[in-house]
Amino acid sequence: MVKFSELNLSETTLKSVKRMGFEEATPIQEGTIRLGMEGKDIIGQAQTGTGKTTAFGIPLIEKIDTKDGNVQGLIIAPTRELAIQVSEELYRLGQDKNVRILSVYGGQEIGRQIRALKNRPQIIVGTPGRLLDHINRRTLKLDNVNTLILDEADEMLNMGFIEDIQTIMSSVPETRQTLLFSATMPDAIRRIAEKFMKSPEIVKIKSKEMTVENIEQFFVKSVEREKFDILSRLINVQQPELAIVFGRTKRRVDELSHALNIRGYVAEGIHGDLSQAKRMSVLKQFKAGKVDILVATDVAARGLDISGVSHVYNFDIPQDPESYVHRIGRTGRAGKKGVAVTFVTPREMGYLSIVERTTKKKMEALIPPTADEAVLGQKRVAMEQLQEMTEKNNLGDYRTFAAEMLEKFDAVDLIAAALKTMTKEPEDTPVQISEERPLPSRGGGGYKGKSGGSGSRSGGGGYKGSRSGANAGRPSSGRSGSGAAGRRRESGSAGGGRPGRTRRHES
């Protein structure tokens, strides 16, 4: 690993990097910073969570002339959330140099943005639609831009922004430096690189460093009507620190988040119909640990950079394998282990084989925990809580009461009673989850060519860690009862209005 102090950075940038707690550069950062500071065009192939914002942010900040009040750097991002995250990180990187940064995106009042643009920001981070709006209104002048960055280009392609991107890129001087980042390299992105970039250098993360390598991947074969009860039991047993549940549709997200709250979890949902303010509020609560389970559609979750997610549950298997890779990439960050569980109906097993071929990793069959195992999971949580309280040794007067009770009762009986009082029995309140149609059949809907030619994957694999303990499938964390099932319900499911411009319809 190369230290940032070895990368020839200015004193001000190095000071900001140190304040952010960074010492060693990740592979994408080392390659991008060296080439970027030489002024070369760069194609960076890397997933979210590899540190690419700092990778392109440092050369950009280094290049800014703070005496020049014109826009010198432009970053195009697929979603509002990513635009905000990128601008926040750039602000921290440029703090000691006093670089002025502004993010512009749909859903925010345009008049407010126009006023902010008059304060002469030097870096603009924006979503394609809103950037085009400002260009057409002549409120954003790009004549002095010397660095253009496309972040998560493949996501912008998936969301239908390709023409907007080309229009924006044509509005920026040809003498600029261009950096393009994408987790995958479809043909449309390659064509953009060929048309708008000058002999780009390629910085690619080796497969062994890809986020997916840190993730244990499982599948659960289940009929539609049984999926929610299985999900509830899995959460009780696995005790995720923070979890994201992916649903295929907006209706699915609303119903799942409501049902999880009925069952006693603290869950919120995000999808394209929520107002920007509501989405940001939910994400803030989730990052702060006030919401244990985030339920999301693919579109709403694009560009989210959330640390600390221990489990991803694909309640509905995605239609394309690239979406699967993006979904599970929300966990297993920064060298930590993650767990991904995908629910598959019998008719969707063909999609499972396509995902496995793409990731080059066979998923392990997971036998759903029984109701008794779910209860055992809650007992384990209570035991951990009791143990933690004892180790903290902050019991004061309670010792006196304990001594009195020990004179009357057996010690084992007393501890058992305490555990029973603390155990949160799993809820079995009926919930309403509308059945979704399975995805169109792929290859007859069966899973062929593996498992000894039987065409079936209903058996084998076993429950993670067999059935010897309720912590099966749960990464060790040293926490006690702070997960989803360890807290009381605090809030209901999400609601909200419609945002402004929407480019991709969610069914």
- Tens digit of pLDDT for each residue in 270-322? 887 787 788 888 888 888 889 989 999 877 776 566 777 899 999 998 877 77
Over residues 173-191, the pLDDT tens digits come to 999 999 999 888 889 899 9
How many other CB atoms are found less than 10 A from the CB of residue 17? 23
Sequence length of the chain is 507
Q: Matching CATH topology for 2-209 and 214-371+427-486?
A: yes
Q: Give the chain's residues under pLDDT 70.
A: 47-50, 206-212, 302-305, 334-335, 371-379, 381-382, 385, 419-420, 422-430, 438-507
148: which 2 tokens?
Answer: 């253009």
| Separation of CA 420 from chain center | 36
253: which 2 tokens?
Answer: 């997200």
477: which 2 tokens?
Answer: 């964390």
Report the candidate in 494, 118, 15 with the shortest Cα–Cα distance to residue 272: 494
Q: Give dist(CA 332, CA 327) in Å, integer.
A: 11
Q: Give dist(CA 25, CA 408) in Å, integer.
A: 62
pLDDT for the residue numbered 424: 63
For the chain, the structural domain boundaries read 2-209, 214-371+427-486
How far does the chain reach from its first CA to its final CA, in angstroms? 45
Over residues 450-505, the pLDDT tens digits come to 333 333 343 333 333 333 333 333 333 333 333 333 333 333 333 333 333 333 33
Instruction: Report the side by side order of strands in the sheet with 73-76.
Output: 101-104, 123-126, 73-76, 147-150, 177-182, 42-45, 201-204
Quote the CATH superfamily of domain 214-371+427-486: P-loop containing nucleotide triphosphate hydrolases (3.40.50.300)
Q: Which CATH class is domain 2-209?
A: alpha beta
Burial of 498 (0-12, 13-18, 19+ CB in 10 A): exposed
Report the candidate in 223, 214, 224 with the shortest Cα–Cα distance to residue 252: 224
